[in-house]
Amino acid sequence: MSFSVLFVCTGNICRSPLSERMFRARIAVPTVHVSSAGTGALVGYGIDGPSGLVLREYGIDSEGHFARALTREIVHASDLILSAESTHRTIMLNAEPALFRRTFTIREFARLGAGLGPIIGPPSDDDLLRERVSRVSAQRGWVQPPDPGTDEIGDPYGAGLDFARIIGNQISDAINGVITALGLSIVPHR
């Protein structure tokens, strides 16, 4: 059994694969399983052209991704579920309210876990990572709420490369925050 992180967006061709690939490239814990899915997935499609270019600019391979639909099985197999927008989180929580303690927007998780410090113990210990998710969840209601829209990552689908780069930078910063919130070390990107 391994710790599993799921990234969610709408089509699973821009934000969630960017997040998945950036997260995977920046953690040094091979036992963590990382995946992505979409609430309205363009099933079978690869990463959107501008988003793929942004990944390559970060030195991360964009090939081999195929969009998949978010399913109950995928969600239940995930220890941490991170969405691009609160609307995605709401869709999941309306379907499965019991997911509340492990479902966040990417930026929300990073923000809530910012002050928790490094993990004490081996980073490959799945139970320690699950405990960290619980500790981040416990910050809800204690950490100052953000300004409206702060926890959202916009959708670059159909926009140009410049906007895809802006979104890529937002995701990059948020992924670093997620890794820190989990108490792990960040492997620097090239």
pLDDT tens-place string over residues 103-162: 999 999 999 999 888 877 776 688 899 999 999 999 988 777 778 888 999 999 988 899
Rounded mean pLDDT of the chain?
Answer: 91
Specify whether the CB–CB gap between 131 and 121 falls below 8 A: no
CATH of the domain at 107: 3.40.50.2300
DSSP type of residue 101: G
Please tell me which residue, 124 or 180, carries the higher pLDDT value.
180
The pLDDT of residue 1? 58
**Residue 88 covered by a domain:** yes
Kindly indicate the confidence band of residue 51, based on its pLDDT and cuts at 50, 70 and 90.
very high
**Residue 76 covered by a domain:** yes
**Residue 189 covered by a domain:** no
Residue pLDDT, tens place only, 64-88: 999 999 999 999 999 999 999 999 9
Range of the domain at 43: 4-181
- The domain tally of the chain equals 1
**Residue 190 covered by a domain:** no
Tokens of 143: 């950490």
**Burial grade of 114 (CB within 10 A; 0-12, 13-18, 19 or more):** middle
